[in-house]
Amino acid sequence: MRTERPRLALAVLALALLSGCGANDDEAPKTPRTATGSLEQLAEQAECDPNVQTDADELRQANCKTADGRYILTTFATDRGLREWINEANDYGGSYLVGRKWVASGDAEVVETLRGRLGGTVETAPEHHSGSGDDDSGTGGSGESEGGEGHKGHHDKG
């Protein structure tokens, strides 16, 4: 009798965990495993012909334009370099798809589409400046932006 209770408890726990994991499968889109590789390898997976703008030891950055839109793909030599870049970029707002030692930045819709190819985690920073002063989007600082233009100057130096 003593061994039946622990087995029953384990079976109930396993069933609960399995049913809980599958409960939201219909709601969340399937994303691939987070991509890794060089700037060129990531660009190929993202279906982009990269226009390299920065080629330095600490980071490489390229402009990409696809049928889905424009974005900037950046790879980093270290995880710390990536995190420091993200922390600074958050001051400018925008949407970022973050992987291991890489980030893609662009319009929220483009970033979400890229996630279907590259995996990764979407990070959205609230816009801190609007430039035009006519922000009537009603987002209330949720961090989602429609145009994604507010941070273009930070990432696109040319």
Give the pair of three-digit tokens for residue 133: 């002063």
Q: Return the closest-CA partner of residue 71 out of 89, 91, 48, 90.
A: 48
State pLDDT tens for residues 7-48: 544 443 333 333 444 444 455 557 789 999 999 999 999 999
What pLDDT digit, counting tens, does each position of 50-102 carry? Answer: 999 999 999 999 999 988 899 999 999 999 999 999 999 988 889 999 999 99
Specify the pLDDT at position 31.
79
Q: What is the mean pLDDT of residues 112-135?
A: 77
Would you say residue 105 has pLDDT above 70? Answer: yes
Predicted local distance difference test score (pLDDT) of residue 126: 81
Instruction: Tell me if 32 sits within 8 A of 118, measured CB to CB.
Output: yes
Report the pLDDT averaged over residues 99-124: 95
Give the CA dihedral 72, 129, 121, 114, nearest 10 degrees. Answer: -40
How wide is the angle at C-alpha 95 spanned by C-alphas 90 and 97, nearest 5°? 105
Of 86, 87, 105, the C-alpha closest to 96 is 105
**Plot region of 8 (φ>0 → left; ψ -120 to 50 → alpha; else → beta):** alpha
